[in-house]
Structures are given as C-alpha cells and as structure tokens.
Structure 1
C-alpha cells in the first residue's frame, strides 16, 4: 500500500527541459540513421564496382592461337603471334597491351608501335609479306596485322579487339635483340591491360630449311 501511495505522490517531469532532452534524442537518432544509410549506400556501390572489376579480370583475356616464324636459313628474324580475345572477354585495347618475350639470354618488352605499324588484310596481301608496314619495326615495338574484324573495332589509332576478332602481332626478333638460332627455347606472354595473358612457349627447330622459310612454332 505504501508503494502505491508513494507512486501516486510522484509526477512526470514536465517543462521546457524535458522537451529539449526529447528533441536532442530525436536529432541524435536521425543523425545516426543518416550515417548508417550513407555508409550502407557507399558500401553497396563499392561492392558492385569491385564485383564488376573482378568479373572482368577473371572472364577477360587473350588466347594465343599460333605463332609463326620467318627465318633466313640461320636464325628466325621475324615472329607473328596470332591472338584473339577469350570467350566472354570484354574488349581489349592493344594500345595498353605489352609483349614480354625472352630467348633465355635477352628479354624484350614490346608495345604497339603506333598507327604506322598497322595493316588490315582486308586490303589484300599476306601476313608474311615483310614489305607491310607492320613489319617495319624498331626495338621495343610490335606491329598489328588484322586478319578478322567484323565490326571494324581494330583501327590504326584505336586498336581494340573484341569477340571474334583475330589479329597477328608482329615482332622483328633481330631488332629487339633475340637470337633465335636452332634449338632455342622461347617463352613469353602477351599481357592485356586486364584479364589473362596469352602464353608463348616454343622451341625453334633443329635446323632451318631453305625450302621452308615460314615455319609454325606454336
């Protein structure tokens, strides 16, 4: 009974002080909610961007279809690496692509030589025609010969390859310091801006025949 009498004698806090405390609590809750919403939105966008980049990195890349060489009877002077994007790959900019290649003694890092090192076979000719501009290379350069490009995405100044495209990347082995004598093991890769690289690995023949100037190496 005394408890009830004690409670009946109490009154709720009223007045401006209580109102200020109530408003402060509401404001703190609102600020906390806004921070949580902004943080969750930022994290969601970051996760989506990371997922997209990871998918591109895994699904994209290049595949080496074959490698051919042109020799002078004693060593291989020119190489052509046929590449194509992997299935499901995003478009790949060859301006941002590098070729790493070594003969075990010398190592070369090559980049696209520019629009004057480009040729499209739709204009006629053969990949192995050394008079094409794509073979006129200096140290540190590779050229591009377009074999298949239905949507015309691979242009001299913007050499982008996508689904179904096939191009040959040309290398002047002598100009970059490679000694491709018989029985030489060559390794390397064609590394795109993102995605899996195309692997190069072959051993040159035991001898070079004068009747067969063009040989398939890989």
Structure 2
C-alpha cells in the first residue's frame, strides 16, 4: 500500500542528482576549455603569420650604395645605374619580382624587371658582387647589384637634363619600399658619367 521513504533513501537520491549535475558541469567545462584552447592556437598562428608579414614589409628593403648617370652626346643623362644592397636585417630580395616607380619631369612610370612577361619600359639588373652567382636575388649582406634604367628606350621617359630631379621607389615582393631621390648636376658639359 503505502511506502515509507526513510531519510537515508532521500539523501541517496539527492546525492545521485548532485553527482549527475556535477558530471554535466565538468563535461561542459571540458568542452569549453577545448574550444578555448583551439581558438587560442588558431589566434597564435594567425598573429605569428601577421607578425612575420609585417616584419618583412619593414625589413626586406634595399639600400642605395651609389647612383650614377651616363652622359650622352646631347649633354643629357641617357642611362642611370643604381647600385643596391640588402638593408640591415633584410631577408632575401628577388629583384625580378620587384616593381619600380620612376617619378620624374616627364611624369610617373611603373617598371617591371626585364625577365617579367610585361610590356613597356623595363629595368635590368647586373651583378657587381654576388656570393652565389644569381643575378636577380640579393641573399647576402655583401651582395651588390646594379639596377639599370635606359632612359632613351622605347616607352622610356627620355633623357634627363641638367638640374632635373627624379624619385625612384623600389617595391619588393614583400611590400617593402625603398625611396631614392637624386638630381642631375647643374652642368653636364664635357662629362661622360656623373654621380647623382
């Protein structure tokens, strides 16, 4: 007929209910911890990749060593050679993937390397000093390359006259930019080459 529940049985049922709630809380906490650990790992790898890209944009630059111009028969500068090296702390710089903005008296020109399959005015490179024989990749602090601009080439800006100023911006594949500014001397008479 009637069952009588003793105090001990009631405490047992309450204890089992508490245990079930506790196990459920532990499971939820474990799942949440797993999600947090995975998210933290993903964020860490994303932050590391972003940091490396940002570092490349700042450090993978070139450094100007010297800029010279070749004077033609007309008494104007027809060719410009910019000798470059790696900037301090720079990684490998592949000049065949670089783009150069030439900003001069005749306007702005965007150049690609002569090895690129592009049309228009292009720049070329030659080795001054290189440790591994590659004529487009600076990968050692001692490497020195000439970046050569033939101003009278097809689609070129034309020769530079006395006192004219040019800004050259070299953009590497990593996004780093090196800015070089030079001015032709006020007198080019009787000279074959000048330092700019």
Whether TM exceeds 0.5 here: the answer is: yes
Out of 142, 145, 149, the position equivalent to 1:171 is 149
| TM-superposition CA deviations, 1:66-124 (whole Å, max 9, x none) | 11111223321111111111122100011221111122332111111018xxxxxxxxx
User: Number of aligned pairs?
Assistant: 184
1:147 to partner: Cα distance: 0.6
Alpha-carbon spacing, 1:216–1:95, altered in 2? closer, same or farther (3 Å) = same
Unpaired segments ≥5 residues, structure 2: 1-6
Aligned alpha-carbon RMSD (Å):
2.7
1:170-189 correspondence to structure 2 within 5 Å: 170-175=148-153, 176-189=156-169
| TM-superposition CA deviations, 1:155-197 (whole Å, max 9, x none) | 4xxx211221100011111221234111211112222123643
TM-score, normalised with respect to structure 1: 0.73
Inter-partner Cα distance in structure 2 for 1:81 and 1:22? 73
1:21-32 correspondence to structure 2 within 5 Å: 21-32=21-32
User: 1:191 maps to which residue?
Assistant: 171
SS of the aligned residue for 1:205 comes to coil
| TM-superposition CA deviations, 1:128-177 (whole Å, max 9, x none) | xxxxxxxxxx842111110111133x24xxx2112211000111112212
SS of the aligned residue for 1:38 comes to helix
User: 1:206 maps to which residue?
Assistant: 186
TM-score, normalised with respect to structure 2: 0.81
User: 2:35 maps to which residue?
Assistant: 35
1:84-163 correspondence to structure 2 within 5 Å: 84-114=85-115, 139-152=120-133, 154-155=134-135, 159-162=136-139, 163=141
* Residue 216 in structure 1 maps to residue 184 in structure 2: no
SS of the aligned residue for 1:181 comes to coil
| TM-superposition CA deviations, 1:7-64 (whole Å, max 9, x none) | 9996253598666544433322221111011011112222222222233333331111
SS of the aligned residue for 1:194 comes to coil
User: 1:56 maps to which residue?
Assistant: 56
Inter-partner Cα distance in structure 2 for 1:190 and 1:35? 45
Q: Which has the higher contact order (CA 8 A, sep 6+)?
A: 1
Inter-partner Cα distance in structure 2 for 1:18 and 1:160? 69
Unpaired segments ≥5 residues, structure 1: 1-6, 116-137
